[in-house]
Structure 1
């Protein structure tokens, strides 16, 4: 029996190789697990343009927001493992959501096949201009005196913005109320309208409002200043080094996707990120381009990121039943 299975496997191998060599022979779907208008949308559309040209097939974007990115991720987790359905994953939609949600309909460690890291975007802490604070120390004083408490927005329960907001409240030792939205776009709209006071998010969608003065940046929540806003001090420079939150972006396929197809997609992603114009546009949007050398390297980063956020989420008591 074992010999027959081995022979069958050897006979099937050339057919599998031919199938992978022809991949892709039809359009690829990229699920962005957030509504249009946020950082994920900006990064996803920019990267897929270059990948489509290299793969010789269109990459069709599908925005599927909800549940902190879990609804869109679930679509990919349950898709056929053939490399034709991808997800633009991130620290919020895959890492933190899996730690916060009580019932996740997939095993985040096995449901996805990591393809490659795109880059990292240190979060920027912003406030509505009506908030009389320009530094973290001033924000701390305002929050302590506020009644009712200041309200911070997030792109959704379990998002990086949710965890970052909780981290800020802990570090400043102040009460703040959390209001989740269905993506960065809706949260940013309510911040600009003054319905919420604080929002921590990747820089890309915030930059135009910051530059126009309709939004005030308080600090970069990372170890280094952003090249897009070199004059904005970091949280560490302002005396709060414990506030550190970066949003990562990467591509993943359904778990079980053939390694040859994963490598094909990784190569197309890497070649796209090597384009000077793509790197320039991502950098201007506040994203530090850091492609992974291999799918395996990205897989290790993915696992380490989840281990890093687990105690933060636990300490904050972030849980959705």
Structure 2
């Protein structure tokens, strides 16, 4: 566990402490992943701006483990007063809730959705030795491969595992899953040509695509990426069912008073509107995606789980 105090909030005007005295003490943000990753970066950037507006500092607490389940459990079981928040995402909430055999909380009721922060579309890449520049060509290469093509992932039950399964199902091909302990080791073996296919967030892949060490096949998102504008989306390539974006959002403990959730949502969106913050996130391969309301994000989360559930079930993904 690692704790850091963001002091921007101590400079905020007293008016920021309105709304019935909330917040009346520091807010704790639990990031269910170790320090240093994308979750950690976006958490620090966004909560610094929120702290200044709320008039209270934000203490960031990294609680990694079990695909985000350990940190999520801390928030699920905290007092429902809006002083303990979760940086949730597609991996720690959607995929983990579908692949874990035993969750210590009900993901549908344990959290009070506040709003989205950002999304990073995943990019499908292959080692240059693979004879494919499009998804159709990857489909043909996979059908002709003996033995089967394999794909890397950051681990069993990860978003990358599910994304690879989604690609294989959409292309109607057999692909072997090769799990690693994190994105770094997986990426290293793909770069070395030991595993030919990988799907992950754009940020860590971008320099290798630009250098030619990896070949990008498609963006697995709803629109093209500003970082790789010439790269088609999976829908443009003829496979709209392949959609795998990494998203990041803010949630409170289930049962948190609606007025406090609304306050946090408003402050979150004000922070996300800052041009400098948006630039920093875009430089990291992320696009700001604020929610219109907590209810809108709740509907998005439910739809995301419904979309991934048959993929996970068909692939037999399960973590005991």
- Range class of TM-score, shorter chain: 0.7 to 0.9
Deviations 1:240-289 (A, max 9, x none): 23222222221001112222322222122111111112222223333332
Does the 8 A contact of 1:37 with 1:184 survive in 2? no
CA distance in 2, matches of 1:33, 1:181: 19
CA distance in 1, matches of 2:212, 2:44: 27
Alpha-carbon spacing, 1:300–1:241, altered in 2? closer, same or farther (3 Å): closer
Alpha-carbon spacing, 1:48–1:223, altered in 2? closer, same or farther (3 Å): same
Deviating runs (4+, > 6 A) in structure 1?
A: none
Alpha-carbon spacing, 1:266–1:209, altered in 2? closer, same or farther (3 Å): same
The answer to whether residue 46 in structure 2 is matched with residue 41 in structure 1 is: no
Question: Who is 2:311 aligned against?
Answer: 312
Deviations 1:94-118 (A, max 9, x none): 1122122221111001110111111
Deviations 1:138-181 (A, max 9, x none): 33344344444333233343333222110111122332222344
Alpha-carbon spacing, 1:44–1:156, altered in 2? closer, same or farther (3 Å): farther
What runs of 5+ residues in structure 1 fail to find an aligned partner?
Answer: 1-17
Does the 8 A contact of 1:66 with 1:182 survive in 2? no
SS at match of 1:122: strand
The answer to whether residue 112 in structure 2 is matched with residue 113 in structure 1 is: yes
CA distance in 2, matches of 1:39, 1:166: 23
> What's the offset of the Cα at 1:239?
2.7
The answer to whether residue 87 in structure 2 is matched with residue 88 in structure 1 is: yes
Which stretch shifts more, 258-267 or 95-104?
Answer: 258-267
CA distance in 1, matches of 2:297, 2:55: 25
SS at match of 1:61: strand
The TM-score with structure 1 as length reference comes to 0.84
Does the 8 A contact of 1:122 with 1:220 survive in 2? yes
Alpha-carbon spacing, 1:77–1:169, altered in 2? closer, same or farther (3 Å): same
Alpha-carbon spacing, 1:112–1:225, altered in 2? closer, same or farther (3 Å): same
Which stretch shifts more, 288-297 or 58-67?
Answer: 58-67
CA RMSD of aligned residues (A): 2.6
Trace 1:157-168 onto structure 2 (pairs within 5 A): 157-168=156-167
Does the 8 A contact of 1:39 with 1:205 survive in 2? no
Which stretch shifts more, 111-120 or 235-244?
Answer: 235-244
CA distance in 2, matches of 1:39, 1:116: 18
What runs of 5+ residues in structure 2 fail to find an aligned partner?
Answer: 1-16
Alpha-carbon spacing, 1:160–1:48, altered in 2? closer, same or farther (3 Å): same
Which stretch shifts more, 309-318 or 84-93?
Answer: 309-318
Alpha-carbon spacing, 1:36–1:128, altered in 2? closer, same or farther (3 Å): farther
Question: Who is 2:30 aligned against?
Answer: 31
Alpha-carbon spacing, 1:182–1:88, altered in 2? closer, same or farther (3 Å): farther
Alpha-carbon spacing, 1:286–1:23, altered in 2? closer, same or farther (3 Å): same
Does the 8 A contact of 1:65 with 1:182 survive in 2? no
SS at match of 1:250: strand
SS at match of 2:187: helix
Which stretch shifts more, 190-199 or 309-318?
Answer: 190-199
Alpha-carbon spacing, 1:188–1:77, altered in 2? closer, same or farther (3 Å): farther
> What's the offset of the Cα at 1:25?
3.6
Alpha-carbon spacing, 1:130–1:270, altered in 2? closer, same or farther (3 Å): same
CA distance in 1, matches of 2:53, 2:85: 16
Alpha-carbon spacing, 1:181–1:288, altered in 2? closer, same or farther (3 Å): same
Does the 8 A contact of 1:38 with 1:205 survive in 2? no
Question: Who is 1:198 aligned against?
Answer: 197
Question: Who is 1:280 aligned against?
Answer: 279
SS at match of 1:86: strand
The answer to whether residue 187 in structure 2 is matched with residue 188 in structure 1 is: yes
